[in-house]
Structure 1
Amino acid sequence: MNLLKGQKIDLTKGSNLSNLHLQFGWTFTKSGLSIDAACFLLSNKGLCEKDEDFIFYGNPSSEGGAVKHLPNQGADKEAIQILLPKLSERTAKIAFTVTIHDAERLGHRMKDASELYVRMLNGDNGQELFRFDYGSDFMNETAVVAGELYKHQGEWKFNAIGSGFHGGLAALCTNFGLEVEEDAEPEVAAAAASENVSSLSPIDLRKKIVQITLEKKKLTGVMARVGLVLDISGSMQNLYKNGTVQEVVERILAVACKFDDNGTLDVWIYDNEFSRLPSASENDIDQYVQKHVINNKNIHKFGRNNEPPVMMDVIRKYTVEEDSPLPVFLVFINDGGVVKPIKKVITDSAVQPIFWQFVGIGHSDFEVLKKLDAMEGRIVDNANFIHIEDIASISDEQLYHLLLNEFPVWLKEAANKRIIRK
C-alpha cells in the first residue's frame, strides 16, 4: 500500500501487530550529504518529557528497549524498531524524522536528496505494511517529519505527514520541547567533507570519517582496545583471494587508530582451528593478509566453522594475559554457519569488558546471530549483529555508522554495572 500525504492508516485494530520496523531510504543528488533518521517519543501534550525520549544514532535505545535505532538492513538506509507492548504508558505518539547532518555549515538542503521514503514492516515476518514516498516537493528545508505513530482509542495508527522544517535538528528538538546545545563541528569534519581529499592516504581519510562518526555518536575521548576476528572457513576463500578481507582489515584499523592508545589492531582468524596474527598497524598494513595469512603455511585455512575456541582465546587475551580497565570493541566477521554454543560464550562473557560486534556478510540466514538481542541471562546486552550482504560495496561512512551504533549503549550499561570504569 502506498500512502498519500495526510493519509491515516489503522495498524493494530483487528490485528496482533506488536513488532514494527520503520525503514528509511533516500538517494543523494549531491556529494558530501549525510542524512540521519530519528524519532521523538511524545506525551499526550505532544512533547518529549525527557532527553532520553529522543532516539537517534547517539541514543539508539529507549529506556526498556521499546524503541531502537537500528543499522540498515538491505537496501534501506536506516531503521527504527518499535515494540508496542514495551512502550511506556506516557508515550502517546512517536514522531519519525530525517535531518541533514550539519546542513547549515555545509550548505546542504533537502533538494539535494531525492526518492525519500519510509516504509513500515511487520518485524516478525518482514511483510511490508505500507510505503510513504514524501520527498518530491522539498527545496531549502533541512529536516522533515516523515510521519507519526499515534494512539487513538486504545489502538495505534500511522499518519503520513511529510512536513519540512528549516533549522535542522535544532528546530525539530525545539518543536518537540527539547533544548539543544550548539554543535561546534570539529575541523576534521570540515576536512573530510571538503572536496580537497585527493592528497590524503586511504587510512588518513578513513580516520577522518571515523572521527566524524565518533562525534555524531558522542564517543570522542573514549579509549578502547580493538580486535578483529576473521572467518577463514571454506566459503570465505574467494574473499581472501580478491582482496576483500585485506580491505576489511584496513577499514577496521582506522577504528583502532582512533580508539586504541597505541593505534594497533589485534587480529585473529579461525575455521575449525584458530590463530592469533601479529597486530596490524599503519606501518605494516600493506599486504597484511597476503603476508600473514595467505602466504603463511602454519595457518589452518578454509575448513569448517567453530567459533567458541577463538572466542575463548579473545577473552583470555583481554582478561587474563592483558588485564586492563579499558573496554574492548571486538569486530567479528562471519559469512554464516556459526555454531550454537557461541551463545553460552557470549552469556558467560557478559561480565567481562568486551563488546562483541558481529558482522554477517553474504547471503546466509544467520539464524543464531539474529537472536543475539533476545538472549536472556546476561547482566548487560554485550553483543550486536549487523548483516551486510556485500561488504565491499558499502561506503566507509555507512560501515562505521553500523559498526558503532550499539557500542555507546553498551558502554553506558557496562559502566552502570561496574563492568568497566565510568
Structure 2
Amino acid sequence: MASINLVKGQKIDLTKGNAGLTKVVVGLGWDPVKSKGFFGGKKKNVDCDASALLLNSEGKLSKDTHVICFHNLKSPCGSVVHTGDNITGEGDGDDEQIMIDLLKIPSDVHKVLVVVNIYDCVNRKQDFGMIESAYIRVLDGSGNNELIKFNLSDNYSGLTALVCGELYRNGTEWKFAAIGEGAQAPHINDLAARYR
C-alpha cells in the first residue's frame, strides 16, 4: 500500500483499511534552519521533544503518567513507548519515534495526541521558525511501511509547541487526524496542563 500524504485538518481511517494492523510507529522529523552567513550556512541545534498525551473521551488527561515523553518513556500499561530523545534533529529519517500498541491501549483512553515542543526554548531563545522540513508520519508496527505522512509546512515562527496529530478511536477502529496547530508552551508540562 502506498503512503498517503495528508493536509491540515484531514482525517483518515488507520485500521479499517489495514486489516490486522494493531501496532504502529509514529515518527517525527525536523531539521534546523541554516543561518545565512557570508561563508555559507550554519545550522543551530534545536532540541525538539516529541510527546504523546493519552486523553479520555472528554479530551482530558486523567493521569500524570499519561504524558509519554523524554522523562517518562513508557505508559503504565506499556501501550505507548517513546524510543528516546534526539537533541539535534540532525540526519535523515525520523528524529524521534513513539511506538503504539493499539490493542493494549486502555478502554478509557480515546485519543493519543502527538505533540512537539522545543526544549529550554526560553533560555535558548528558540521557536519553530528555526525549524524546517517538519513532519509526522505513521508506519506499520515493523516500522518498514509508511502508511500516512503529514508535512507541517505552516509558518510557526514565534511558537514553541506544535500539536501535530492524533490517533483516535472510532468504534472499534482507529483513525488519524492531521492537526498542525502551533502553541505557546515552553515545556511539555505547560502543554499538558491545557488538557487537565
The verdict on a shared fold, with TM-score over 0.5 as the criterion, is: yes
Q: Tell me the CA shift for residue 173 of structure 1.
A: 1.4
Q: What's 1:67 paired with?
A: 80
> Aligned with 1:160: secondary structure?
strand
TM-score (norm 2): 0.85
Q: Does 1:51 align with 2:75?
A: no
Alpha-carbon contact 2:162-2:183 (below 8 Å) kept? yes
The 1:165/1:45 distance shift into structure 2, 3 A limit, reads: same
Letter in structure 2 aligned against 1:69: H
Q: Tell me the CA shift for residue 171 of structure 1.
A: 3.3
Q: What's 1:172 paired with?
A: 191
Alpha-carbon contact 2:32-2:130 (below 8 Å) kept? yes
Deviations, residues 52-83 of structure 1 (Å, cap 9, x unaligned): 00000111011121100014797210000000
Q: Does 1:147 align with 2:172?
A: no
Rounded to whole Å, the distance in 2 between the matches of 1:19 and 1:62 is 15
Letter in structure 1 aligned against 2:13: D
TM-score (norm 1): 0.41
Q: Tell me the CA shift for residue 106 of structure 1.
A: 1.4
Q: Tell me the CA shift for residue 154 of structure 1.
A: 2.0
Q: Does 1:39 align with 2:39?
A: no
Deviations, residues 68-121 of structure 1 (Å, cap 9, x unaligned): 001479721000000011110111001000100011121101000111001110
Alpha-carbon contact 2:159-2:183 (below 8 Å) kept? yes
Rounded to whole Å, the distance in 2 between the matches of 1:32 and 1:9 is 34
Rounded to whole Å, the distance in 2 between the matches of 1:125 and 1:143 is 26
> Aligned with 1:9: secondary structure?
strand
Q: Tell me the CA shift for residue 161 of structure 1.
A: 0.2
Alpha-carbon contact 1:115-1:136 (below 8 Å) kept? no
Q: What's 2:7 paired with?
A: 4
Gaps of 5+ in 1: 178-422
Alpha-carbon contact 2:25-2:143 (below 8 Å) kept? no
Rounded to whole Å, the distance in 1 between the matches of 2:121 and 2:142 is 36
> Aligned with 1:90: secondary structure?
coil
Letter in structure 2 aligned against 1:154: T
Letter in structure 2 aligned against 1:112: M
Q: Which protein is richer in strand relative to its size?
A: 2
Q: What's 1:396 paired with?
A: none
Rounded to whole Å, the distance in 1 between the matches of 2:186 and 2:6 is 25
Rounded to whole Å, the distance in 2 between the matches of 1:115 and 1:23 is 13
Alpha-carbon contact 1:115-1:135 (below 8 Å) kept? yes
Q: Does 1:24 align with 2:28?
A: yes
Letter in structure 1 aligned against 2:194: N
Deviations, residues 369-388 of structure 1 (Å, cap 9, x unaligned): xxxxxxxxxxxxxxxxxxxx
Rounded to whole Å, the distance in 2 between the matches of 1:81 and 1:36 is 15
Q: What's 1:346 paired with?
A: none
Q: Does 1:114 align with 2:118?
A: no
Q: What's 2:40 paired with?
A: none
Q: Does 1:79 align with 2:82?
A: no
Alpha-carbon contact 2:24-2:143 (below 8 Å) kept? no
Rounded to whole Å, the distance in 2 between the matches of 1:46 and 1:113 is 28
Rounded to whole Å, the distance in 1 between the matches of 2:148 and 2:45 is 30
Alpha-carbon contact 1:165-1:171 (below 8 Å) kept? no
Alpha-carbon contact 2:51-2:68 (below 8 Å) kept? yes
Letter in structure 1 aligned against 2:192: C
Q: Does 1:101 align with 2:105?
A: no
Q: What's 2:38 paired with?
A: none
The 1:67/1:125 distance shift into structure 2, 3 A limit, reads: closer
RCO higher in 1 or 2 (8 Å CA, sep ≥ 6)?
2
The 1:74/1:167 distance shift into structure 2, 3 A limit, reads: closer
Q: Which protein is richer in helix relative to its size?
A: 1
The 1:58/1:76 distance shift into structure 2, 3 A limit, reads: same
Rounded to whole Å, the distance in 2 between the matches of 1:100 and 1:113 is 10
Worse-matched range after superposition: 153-162 or 165-174: 165-174
Q: What's 1:128 paired with?
A: 146
Letter in structure 1 aligned against 2:75: S
Structure having the higher Rg: 1
Letter in structure 2 aligned against 1:13: K
Rounded to whole Å, the distance in 2 between the matches of 1:86 and 1:167 is 30
1:162 alignment partner, one of 168, 171, 180? 180
Percent identity of the aligned residues?
Answer: 36
